[in-house]
Amino acid sequence: MYSEKVMDHFEHPRNVGEIENASGMGTVGNAKCGDIMRIYLDIDDNQIIRDVKFKTFGCGAAVATSSMATELVKGKSVQDAMQITNKAVMEALDGLPPVKVHCSLLAEEAIHAALWDYSEKHGIKIEGLTKPKTDIGEEEVEEEY
């Protein structure tokens, strides 16, 4: 049912954790399943994402997609990170079962929420970026890995 890459990122998620004084942090929630994802971005003066960490309180597909999404945005400019869609994350994972597609949306939205936080805090406009509807702000993520 799941690709080897999904299983690999689920069992060995990359970039799990927190970044203290992150340049941007975004937390999004899925109203249907209740899963929550938080992404921290460390962005340098040239608007390049130096580091990224995540915490996901959610299903295996949410963990795998967060992990892959962090790998895809690391080292990218904020503008390039903005272009990374859930489709790109799914492709990088060799696909997800149709019932799990919404989990990958959470990863895309968490990145957008973190970029939104960064743009607000630093007064920087990122082309095409809007605040995700699923942004739940500072709400605590209870579960940790």
Residues annotated as catalytic (active site), given as ranges: 33, 103
Residue 50 belongs to what H/E stretch?
Answer: strand 49-57
Q: Of 103, 111, 113, 114, which lies in the binding site for ligand FES, with binding defined by CB under 6 A? A: 103
- What is the Cα–Cα distance from 99 to 111, expressed in whole angstroms? 22
User: How far is residue 51 CA from its own chain's centroid?
Assistant: 12
Q: Which one of the spans 27-35, 76-84, 86-94, 137-145 is the region binding ligand FES (CB under 6 A)? A: 27-35
Query: Does the protein bind ligand FES through residue 11 (CB under 6 A)?
Result: no
Q: Does 143 bind ligand FES (CB under 6 A)?
A: no
State how far the Cα of 109 lies from the Cα of 43, in Å rounded to an integer.
18
Q: For ligand FES, what does the binding mask look like between residues 56 and 95, x meaning CB under 6 A?
A: --xx-xx---------------------------------
Phi, psi of 49 (to 5 degrees): -80, 105
Residue 145 and residue 55 in contact, taking contact as beta carbons nearer than 8 Å:
yes
CA torsion 118-11-2-82 (nearest 10°) is 10
Q: Can you tell me which of 27, 30, 47, 119 binds ligand FES, judged by CB under 6 A?
A: 30
Q: Which is nearer to ligand FES, 59 or 126 (CB)?
A: 59
Q: Summarize as ranges the residues that interact with ligand FES (CB under 6 A).
A: 30, 33, 35, 58-59, 61-62, 103, 106
